[in-house]
Structure 1
Amino acid sequence: MSSVVLRDVTLRDGLQLTGRLLPTDRKVALVRTLLAAGVPELEIGSLARADVVPPLADTLDVVAALTPEELDRCWVWVATPRHVQRAVAAGARNVQYCFSVSDAHNNANVGRDTAVSLDAMPDAVAAAREAGGRIQLCLATAFTCPFDGPVDPGRVVEIVADPRTAGSCDVVVCDTLGQAVPSEVGALVSRVAAVAGGRRIAFHGHDTWGQGVANALAAVAAGATLLDGALGGLGGCPFAPGASGNTACEDLLFALRPDWVTPGVLANLVTVSEDLLDELGEPNRSRAAQGVRSRAAAFPWTAGPRA
């Protein structure tokens, strides 16, 4: 599975529910640390309202501090064409245009029905393209909605096949609540891939019910080539009651073993994650991180307890 790309979403989805704020310079330093470690892509923030999601209020400052070469590997979450314009004006190259398949969650998350977000997508695509950037279609609550329950998979497929979304470079299928199981993930990703028209398929999972890695592997088997994860399983959605953190990057990397990840690289990322989580006062939910810190010296992926 060396061809599967990991996108670290710590600085967006990972920070949404943290009680402590991470300073801008610390975010920029973390971006550079992760890129230098070999992480292929990052999600570095969101243009959500600052009063609603305070930990992400400085996203455009983070963008402005990064070089064009760094920004080529970074993504910013947006929900409107105006968000796209603001992001690219600050220097962003890649934006993730997100809305929910469920009307109830879309209204809670971005204050409008799904149809309104879908209608606006061509303008968002045009704004990204005019700036020479890329734009993803990101579908939240693709499996279940915290307010309305199960989501019709056919509705997800319809949106992906809709001509208004055709200008996107990727399709991100989100298990926002972490309630899906591998059979559901594999079935939906397979259907999405069949109508995506060659666009890259991404899977964004949460580990609420302990299925994060299993769901990610099912997505890959069905055609996904990009997986989202956060350091230490950090994160969650403020508008999705019952959702816990993202699937941990450490767990995904240990399972996938991409070419750039060696035992030393994984151990280094575990240390980076531990320092960040300590700074934020957040628990470490990664099982692979626990494994790295074990005393099983005969296993090459262990590094032992920290000095």
Structure 2
Amino acid sequence: MTSDVILRDVTLRDGLQLTGKTLPTERKVEIVRELLALGVPSLEIGSLARPDLVPPLANTLEVVAALTPEELERCWIWVATPRHVARAVDAGALNVQYCLSVSDAHNRANIGRDTDASLAAMPEAVETALAAGGRIQLCLATAFTCPFDGPVDPDRVLAIVGDPRTDGAADVVLCDTLGQAAPAEVSSLVGRVAREAPGRRIVFHGHDTWGQGVANTLAAVAAGAQVVDGALGGLGGCPFAPGASGNTSTEDLLFALRPSWLDPAGLVALAALSTDLLAELDEPNRSRTVQGIRSKADAFPWTAAHRAAGGDPRAVALAGAGAC
């Protein structure tokens, strides 16, 4: 069921939004290339949010300029206005994620306008992206709950998805921005979008605030989601959404989904990258899979101990770290 699901790693956008430290352009490009080399099929690599409000993402366009067109084919940039789209494609970006919140209160906090104003501007954003030969997604933050208004009516989500002003968007991204959804809610909303607004891929973007990130993602896949988001080590959160914590861990999602491109050596290498990066950022690593990989159970092929016993140099440091 899961072999064809696409994992998009969002470490370099959503993952970095709340970090106290920033990464230089060269380090971000290095991470992009390492993730792509390991087989991760899709990445979100930055945002055009105001650099004074989200400093860790201020060098996004420099990252775009440093990547090749072939690399950018697999990368996405977060945008919220037609001007953002124009700046992104001028820098060489091919894929943009046009984000607005289902709830007006969060859209005002996050983007500075009502939801309908963001919708009204979307046709221009679509036109700009498509004219440049790119792709654009409709990204719906607070698709389940809003930090200011509480539960979000699913009918409002469906109304936005079906709004003709969103025509041209290839995908719909349904975001559990606060990580407050339960699997049954995710299954219901994803299923409704799949049935009532066919023709677009559905992307599920989950957070693990209440420990339901992997369960919610699997429920989304079972209901029709074809792409799912995660961040290394469960890094991330929204600076404009009180109560939001880290994304669902990329490593945990991959261990659960077992895509055809992933093998134990690749997962161990991802865990090593995750461990190094979060230590560099002075952030905790919330991935349960990274903890499991450090197990001394050397008979289990997914552990670093097993890989180290077979001579895999990437696994030695993790195996030596012991169980968490």
* Higher gyration radius (CA): 2
Secondary structure in structure 1 of the residue aligned to 2:304: coil
Aligned to 1:166: 167
Match runs of 1:93-108 below 5 Å: 93-108=94-109
CA contact (8 A) 1:141 1:175 kept: yes
Q: State the shift of 1:194 in Å.
A: 1.7
Secondary structure in structure 1 of the residue aligned to 2:158: helix
Residue identity matched to 2:242: P
Is 2:260 the counterpart of 1:262? no
CA contact (8 A) 2:296 2:319 kept: no
Is 2:122 the counterpart of 1:131? no
CA distance in 2, matches of 1:240, 1:91: 30
Secondary structure in structure 2 of the residue aligned to 1:238: coil
Q: How many residues align?
A: 307
Q: Deviations over 1:197-220 (max 9, x none)?
A: 311000000000000000000000
CA contact (8 A) 1:160 1:195 kept: no
CA contact (8 A) 1:108 1:239 kept: yes
Secondary structure in structure 2 of the residue aligned to 1:75: strand
Residue identity matched to 2:266: V
CA distance in 1, matches of 2:194, 2:41: 22
Match runs of 1:218-297 below 5 Å: 218-297=219-298
CA contact (8 A) 1:43 1:74 kept: yes
Aligned to 1:200: 201
CA contact (8 A) 1:171 1:196 kept: no
Aligned to 1:185: 186
Aligned to 1:90: 91
Q: Deviations over 1:131-163 (max 9, x none)?
A: 000000000000000001000000001110111
Q: State the shift of 1:298 in Å.
A: 1.4
Residue identity matched to 1:176: T
Residue identity matched to 1:53: V
Aligned to 1:23: 24
Q: Deviations over 1:10-54 (max 9, x none)?
A: 000000000011111000000000000000000000000000000
Residue identity matched to 1:85: A
CA distance in 1, matches of 2:72, 2:230: 19
Percent identity of equivalent pairs = 75
CA distance in 2, matches of 1:302, 1:201: 32
CA distance in 2, matches of 1:153, 1:132: 32
Q: Deviations over 1:223-266 (max 9, x none)?
A: 00100000000000000111110000000000000001101000
CA distance in 1, matches of 2:62, 2:257: 33
Secondary structure in structure 1 of the residue aligned to 2:77: strand
CA contact (8 A) 2:46 2:60 kept: yes
Q: Deviations over 1:141-194 (max 9, x none)?
A: 000000010000000011101111121000000000000000000000011112
Q: State the shift of 1:297 in Å.
A: 1.2
Aligned to 2:110: 109
Give me the TM-score of the superposition, normalised by structure 1: 0.99
Secondary structure in structure 2 of the residue aligned to 1:189: helix
Aligned to 2:48: 47
Residue identity matched to 1:160: V
Residue identity matched to 1:142: A
Aligned to 1:303: 304
Aligned to 2:33: 32
Secondary structure in structure 1 of the residue aligned to 2:45: strand
CA contact (8 A) 1:236 1:246 kept: yes
Q: Deviations over 1:247-287 (max 9, x none)?
A: 00000000000001101000000000000001000000000
Q: State the shift of 1:196 in Å.
A: 2.8
Residue identity matched to 1:277: L
Residue identity matched to 1:8: D
CA contact (8 A) 2:171 2:201 kept: yes
Aligned to 1:62: 63
**What are structure 2's unaligned runs of at least 5 residues?**
306-317
Secondary structure in structure 2 of the residue aligned to 1:210: coil
CA distance in 2, matches of 1:23, 1:99: 28
Q: State the shift of 1:9 in Å.
A: 0.1
CA distance in 1, matches of 2:23, 2:55: 10
Aligned to 2:311: none
Q: State the shift of 1:195 in Å.
A: 2.9
Residue identity matched to 1:156: V
CA contact (8 A) 2:295 2:319 kept: no
**What are structure 1's unaligned runs of at least 5 residues?**
none
Aligned to 2:6: 5
